[in-house]
């Protein structure tokens, strides 16, 4: 698994292309965060059903600061994304 112990953020993860990338990264062992205006819960369910780890968050990807705060909050409270914080 090339992305084991790595975290990946895929904006627009609720769409068709985002879903394909999210599932691909999850198959390679990545923990996937999916900020999207629309719901990405169906993608999270698909990833969890195959044994992966994923979260979705209702965010506007145009607001970079909001996404950074969301991911850090997920890291702090969910404790599933481990890695360097910037």
Residue 69, pLDDT score: 55
Dist CA 75 CA 34 (whole Å): 13
Dist CA 60 CA 24 (whole Å): 23
pLDDT band at 26; cut points 50, 70, 90: very high
35 closest CA partner among 46, 44, 47, 23: 44
Residue 86, pLDDT score: 39
Query: Which tokens go with 77?
Result: 């409270």
Give the rounded percent of residues in the chain with a pLDDT score beyond 70.
70
pLDDT tens figures, 41-75: 999 999 999 999 999 988 776 665 555 555 555 55
Structure pTM?
0.71
């Amino acid at each position: 698994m090339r992305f084991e112990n790595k975290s990946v953020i895929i904006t627009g993860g609720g769409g068709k292309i985002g879903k394909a990338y999210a599932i691909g990264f999850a198959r390679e062992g990545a923990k996937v965060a999916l900020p999207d205006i629309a719901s990405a819960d169906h993608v999270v369910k698909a990833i969890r059903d195959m044994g992966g780890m994923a979260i979705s968050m209702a965010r506007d990807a145009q607001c970079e600061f909001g996404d950074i705060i969301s991911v850090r909050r997920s890291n702090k409270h969910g404790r599933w994304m481990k890695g360097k914080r910037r």
